[in-house]
Chains A and B, each alone.
Chain A
Amino acid sequence: MLARGFADPVHDAQAAFRALLEATARPGTVVSLPQPDTPPPLPPAAAAIALALCDGDTPVWLDGRLASPPVRAWLRFHAASPIVADPGAATFAFACGVAAPFDALATGTDEAPERSATLVLLVEAFGTGCALRLSGPGIAGETVLRVAGLPNGFVSWRACNFALYPRGVDVILVSGTEAAALPRTTAVREG
C-alpha cells in the first residue's frame, strides 16, 4: 500500500517550509523537519522537502538508488511531480552521496538566476565527520558544519558553483529527519 505522506498536510508542510526557510537564511544550521510516512529508501527529511515544495510545476530527478518503484509511485501520487531522466531538466534533484550529477544541474541564467536546481543531497550524519567552514550571507563571521558522508569532490564542485554567482545550484543536505542548507552564496572551506 502507498505510504501516507504528511499526517497533517497543511500544517506539516508549513512547519517543513519554515524549517527550510530558517536553514536557508542561516546556512549551516541543522534543522528538524516533520516526519512524513515515507517509502524506503527515501529518508524522512528528503520526503518532507518533496511534500513541502514539489508539485506538478517542479520536475524531479531521482538518483538511481532512490528511484525505487514505491518511491516513484509515492512521489507521483503525493506531489504529482514529473520524474525526469535528465538531471539538467530538474527543479529538484534528490541524490545519494556518490555520483551526484553535480555538473549536469541547471544553474539558472544571468537574468533569471532563480531558475536553477535545488540539490537535495543525502549524507550519513551531521555533527560528525568532515568539518566545513562556512561564511557568507546569513552567517555572522564564520560557522562550522560537520557532515559525515559527503561525496568526493563535493567541496571543489561547491567552489566552482560559488564562483558562478548569482547563478548556481542551492544545496540542502539531509540525514534522517534533519537538514542543513548551503545556498549558492555560502563560501565553503574544508578544515
Chain B
Amino acid sequence: MSATPYNFAYLDEQTKREIRRALLKALAIPGHQVPFASREMPLARGWGTGGMQVTAAVIGRDDVLKVIDQGADDTTNAVSIRQFFTRVAGVRTTTRTEEATIIQTRHRIPETPLRPGQIMVYQVPQPEPLWRLEPSRAETRRLHALAEYGIMHVKLYEDIARHGRITLAYDYPVLVHGRYVMAPSPIPAFDNPKLHRSPAIHLFGAGREKRLYAVPPHTDVVSLAFEDHPFRPWKADAACMLCGATDSYLDEILIDDRGTRRFICSDTDWCERRRAKGKAA
C-alpha cells in the first residue's frame, strides 16, 4: 500500500461501522431500503458514490476488485473507481469476472455466471421503485410498509393498454422474497433473471438518495408481470460484430458518419474472452 494520508479504503471507521450495520439489516430484510448517512466522497454524487461507500465498507486487503460501467471495464467511471481503490486500499484488481471477489457495477450484471463468495455492489441513482408514480417519500415509505403496490401494477397495465406491452427496458421493478418491490438499479431487464436465486450477495448503494438495500443469495427475485403478459426481457435481435455472440446483452453503436449501425457485447470481459478462445463473428 502506498503512503497515503487516508484510512484504509478512504472512509473513517465510524462511517464504515454505520454502513456495515445498515448492510446487515438490509440483508435481513431483502429489498427494503435502509437509510444511511452517505458521506461526501472525492467525486460528485451521481457518479457512483453509493456503490463506492458500500465497497469501502466491505473491502479487505485480500479482496480482488472488478469495476464495470455498463458492462465495460475500460470506461472512465470504471477506470477511476478502480484506481481509487488501488490507491486508498491497495487491493488487487481484475477485469475477469470469475477472479473478482467484489464487483462494483454501474447498470449491468456480468454475463459470466456469478459464484458463491462473490459480492456484487450496485451504483444506484434512484432506489425508490415508486418514485415516478408517487413523489412523496413519506407516502412511498407507507406504501412499502403496507405492501401496497397497486400503483405499480396500474402503471404496467397502462403500458399494455397503450403500447400492447410493458415498455420498461431497464430498472424493471422486481418483487423480492415475496414482500418488497425493489428497483434493481438501471440494469437492463435482460439481467433481472440473474438476480433470481443467485449464489452471490447483491448490495445496492444510492449515495445521493442515502439508501442501501440488499438481496441475499438464493432469494426469490421476480420481475413484475401479469399472467397473460409474462415478463419478457428485451435484447437486440442481432449478433456481436466482434465475437458473434447472440446470447449476450448487446450495445448498438454507430460505426461511421453515414449512420451504419452494428452491435457489440456490452460485457467487454465476456467478449474479449470469447475472442481469445477463437470465437469471431
Contact = CB atoms under 8 A, between A and B. Distances in A.
Q: Say if A and B assemble together.
A: yes
Interface of A: 9-11, 13-15, 17-18, 20-22, 24-26, 52-55, 57-58, 91, 109-114, 116, 118, 137-140, 165-166, 168, 170, 183-185
Nearest to B141: A111
B22 interface: yes
Contacts of B59: 14
A184 B13 CA distance: 27
B44 interface: no
Contacts of B58: 17-18, 21
A170 B60 contact: no
A81 B179 CA distance: 34
A112 B144 CA distance: 10
A183 B27 contact: yes
Contacts of A10: 7-8, 13
A26 B217 contact: yes
Contacts of A18: 58, 60
A137 B177 contact: yes
Interface string B18-55: 10111111111110101000000000000000000000
Interface of B: 7-8, 13-14, 16-18, 20-30, 32, 34, 57-61, 119, 141-142, 144-146, 177, 179-180, 197, 201, 216-220
Given A9-B13, A14-B60, A21-B201, A111 B142 contact: yes
B61 A140 contact: no
A139 B7 contact: no
30 contacts: A9-B13, A10-B13, A11-B8, A13-B13, A14-B60, A17-B16, A17-B20, A18-B58, A21-B27, A21-B58, A24-B24, A25-B201, A53-B21, A55-B17, A57-B18, A58-B21, A110-B145, A111-B141, A111-B144, A113-B32, A114-B34, A137-B217, A137-B218, A137-B220, A138-B217, A139-B218, A140-B218, A170-B25, A185-B28, A185-B177
